[in-house]
Structure 1
């Protein structure tokens, strides 16, 4: 974990006119290219450097904007002389170039931190190990339906920096990962949502859950008494960290196990939200998002809406007609009475647990990919109850076989999305669900989880 360098150069850059000051951007993906454009608009001399190759669409944008860049390596002297460096979230602090920058006290910040200086919009920031994309999308859907002038950014959609440069939104709904939070220092969330904390990405946090949890709690830093902090009262790790923490914002918990005075809770199959004079109630049967995990996502989204004093009618309508996001429990097709669900975004065991927990039929489960040190033990009970066969989709499936060979009669290895879909189709019967919910990263056989999900959907449509 890096700490923010303290140096004479570390002043309020937003107040300081750039006057050709040099800024370097590490990583030329969505966030890096957006940050480069904003920096150029604000008068900085900009240099973009990517250790790998740059995708053609991003390369064209940089060329069109006449922004200097390099790929397939870093030229140290062109980076180490920058006043400040904006780092893409995928680059770890232990990368040699980042270590050199920190050693010489050059501020290294995230795109969110950089772009946040140049907008007065209200910030609604959502983090958590699971559910953040769904919750971010639902909050955005509610706010947009309510007629607010709102942008959607962070880990989702167009980069925040690019939107700050080209739009004039009054509100932003930002999906924030722990990697982004690690390089955010002065940024302030007006509404912070922390959904849950479960082991994920521990390779970036010295394999210590407490380090990862501390990173997630950075979403509350810089909040004031005027702000709101929304959290899950049922999440043990969240509560544990909060016991030793001072949080300035108003605390608004949500729970499905107990009544909450100010916040959200479940009562007689209704979501109930009470915020001072604001009251909201909705039957869980009317929610577009079903499953226990989605009750939490809907509660968190509803609290955000009530903090913003939106009308109950708008919230109820939006929560009832929201369409699930691509690659997250996305219905693909029904073939011969068999439902096919694409949950490719489930890149950790917890996400797969949530997916299985929401299933109401027998399941043929497609699992596998790059294992991030997964503990499959937490899936065993659900697998025993609901899974009739497992189709492995990955180069090395040994740990999946070892984990479930006593619980599932059929475990089959496949090496492509097409093969996995075909095998699963033959193993399933009418009324069953074929669920792609891999619990693993995708880059052994695919470019990313989106590529995996798209290939799966194409394969299903060819059955």
Structure 2
């Protein structure tokens, strides 16, 4: 009996443990932190061996294969020891793919991947396909492979999940865009991070597809220097590139599947330039999967968006409150600020992952009237924008941040939570940060 050791007792870890047991492995799960109660219950119910708040080496180093949760860095001591012993350390995606014969659509990118994944899943479902939704989102891929009978999966894939693949190959791969993110995990080397994203296409064959943003500099540079076997499907906001999908006269035009598909941008349910690109990526996948044009148009206009991503919370005394807690890097916040049409009070801060705030400077000058810092250490933000806005206030709680923002905002303004940072200094994750923001706004 092969021994599977799972590192990390979160969604992907517990899902992998369940699948491993079902497939006849001797399974042991180990988490260096605390395991949440709901996951503990599942482990107990499934009679799985587990430990928390430690890694017992004699129970781990004897593994035949190890599934490492995406949150655990390669440089953690236990992972180093496993690699020195020559034990394969893979991701959940790589482990689960062996036990599923249905095709996957893999979606990655620095920003927009959640929206694109959910939009893609939405349009395929509306088109009558029974698709699972997994990866970085919802119930884990391994767990669904263990339980579900679906025709295929739409997977949101982070660079960490792609780091741990060996043979995984999506039938359709999507790269929404690439900008510096998580550089703390890639030795502060942007090229290593770009290479991690492009692992999504490394095992693709001639019958597979790579859908990508042709306007993206990092993507374009990689494509010049590297080859993929997959068929290329570019999308672009400029009308110059007549291959794949492009924009002309405020209309998305697609040349896929014999005969053009068109959709006016003003009919998309999601606003902002970045969402035009997310929609184009989803349209490309839908066409490759032969979804009817009418269904695609309807799906693009009735999709309701993603929680914590430019989510309109409330308008109080003509001040609009927007929750963009999912913006954990500057590039994501760039899109948020770019889509602001009213003077903005910007709530920003948290754990900085190596941000360069200069790219936000023109937008902050143009749109932001006041900054509320929400973090334990705000020095970098204060240094970057202290001289740009008239008002800057530092806070360490969401309630305080929202109350101050309310005082600073006048009729016709927007209060935008778009932190550009990770949340771990004050919150459990970006979802908790967003929920606290919504609660604080509702209590005003």
Aligned-residue offset at 1:103 = 1.1
Cross-structure match for 2:301 = 320
Which residue, 88, 105, 123 being the options, matches 2:69? 88
User: What is the CA–CA distance in structure 2 between the aligned matches of 1:337 and 1:373, rounded to whole Å?
Assistant: 36
Q: How does 1:24-35 map to 2 (within 5 A)?
A: 24-35=5-16
Q: How does 1:96-245 map to 2 (within 5 A)?
A: 96-245=77-226
Cross-structure match for 1:259 = 240
Cross-structure match for 1:403 = 384
Aligned-residue offset at 1:259 = 3.0
Unaligned ranges ≥5, structure 2: none
User: What is the CA–CA distance in structure 2 between the aligned matches of 1:259 and 1:310, rounded to whole Å?
Assistant: 26
Number of matched pairs: 444
Aligned-residue offset at 1:58 = 0.6
Aligned-residue offset at 1:276 = 4.3
User: What is the CA–CA distance in structure 2 between the aligned matches of 1:123 and 1:83, rounded to whole Å?
Assistant: 26
User: What is the DSSP-based 3-state SS (H/G/I as helix, E as strand, rest coil) of the residue aligned with 2:260?
Assistant: strand
User: What is the CA–CA distance in structure 2 between the aligned matches of 1:376 and 1:341, rounded to whole Å?
Assistant: 21
User: What is the DSSP-based 3-state SS (H/G/I as helix, E as strand, rest coil) of the residue aligned with 1:399?
Assistant: helix
Q: Does 1:451 align with 2:436?
A: no
Q: Does 1:352 align with 2:313?
A: no
Aligned-residue offset at 1:392 = 0.7
Q: Is the 8 A contact 1:228 1:251 kept in 2?
A: yes
User: What is the DSSP-based 3-state SS (H/G/I as helix, E as strand, rest coil) of the residue aligned with 1:275?
Assistant: coil
Task: Give the aligned CA root-mean-square deviation in angstroms.
Answer: 0.9
Cross-structure match for 1:7 = none
Cross-structure match for 1:423 = 404
Q: Is the 8 A contact 2:83 2:89 kept in 1?
A: yes
Aligned-residue offset at 1:101 = 1.0
Q: Does 1:310 align with 2:291?
A: yes
Cross-structure match for 1:440 = 421
Aligned-residue offset at 1:229 = 0.2
TM-score (norm 2): 0.99
User: What is the CA–CA distance in structure 2 between the aligned matches of 1:261 and 1:427, rounded to whole Å?
Assistant: 47
Q: How does 1:60-99 map to 2 (within 5 A)?
A: 60-99=41-80
Cross-structure match for 1:3 = none
Which residue, 18, 25, 47 being the options, matches 2:28? 47
Q: Is the 8 A contact 2:257 2:287 kept in 1?
A: no
Unaligned ranges ≥5, structure 1: 1-19
Which residue, 367, 373, 381 being the options, matches 1:392? 373
User: What is the DSSP-based 3-state SS (H/G/I as helix, E as strand, rest coil) of the residue aligned with 1:164?
Assistant: helix
Q: Is the 8 A contact 2:309 2:324 kept in 1?
A: yes
User: What is the DSSP-based 3-state SS (H/G/I as helix, E as strand, rest coil) of the residue aligned with 1:243?
Assistant: helix
User: What is the CA–CA distance in structure 1 between the aligned matches of 2:128 and 2:86, rounded to whole Å?
Assistant: 44
User: What is the DSSP-based 3-state SS (H/G/I as helix, E as strand, rest coil) of the residue aligned with 1:62?
Assistant: helix
Q: Is the 8 A contact 1:278 1:309 kept in 2?
A: no
User: What is the CA–CA distance in structure 1 between the aligned matches of 2:351 and 2:199, rounded to whole Å?
Assistant: 28
Which residue, 377, 389, 394 being the options, matches 2:358? 377
User: What is the CA–CA distance in structure 1 between the aligned matches of 2:48 and 2:39, rounded to whole Å?
Assistant: 11
TM-score (norm 1): 0.95
User: What is the CA–CA distance in structure 2 between the aligned matches of 1:354 and 1:142, rounded to whole Å?
Assistant: 24
User: What is the CA–CA distance in structure 2 between the aligned matches of 1:390 and 1:285, rounded to whole Å?
Assistant: 31
User: What is the DSSP-based 3-state SS (H/G/I as helix, E as strand, rest coil) of the residue aligned with 1:285?
Assistant: helix
Deviations 1:414-454 (CA, angstroms, capped at 9, x unpaired): 11111111111111111211100001111111111111101
Aligned-residue offset at 1:262 = 2.7
Q: Is the 8 A contact 1:120 1:170 kept in 2?
A: no
Q: Is the 8 A contact 1:286 1:320 kept in 2?
A: yes
User: What is the CA–CA distance in structure 1 between the aligned matches of 2:71 and 2:350, rounded to whole Å?
Assistant: 19
Aligned-residue offset at 1:92 = 1.0
User: What is the CA–CA distance in structure 2 between the aligned matches of 1:220 and 1:399, rounded to whole Å?
Assistant: 36
User: What is the CA–CA distance in structure 2 between the aligned matches of 1:249 and 1:161, rounded to whole Å?
Assistant: 25
Aligned-residue offset at 1:275 = 1.0
Deviations 1:174-218 (CA, angstroms, capped at 9, x unpaired): 000000000001111100001111111111111111000000000
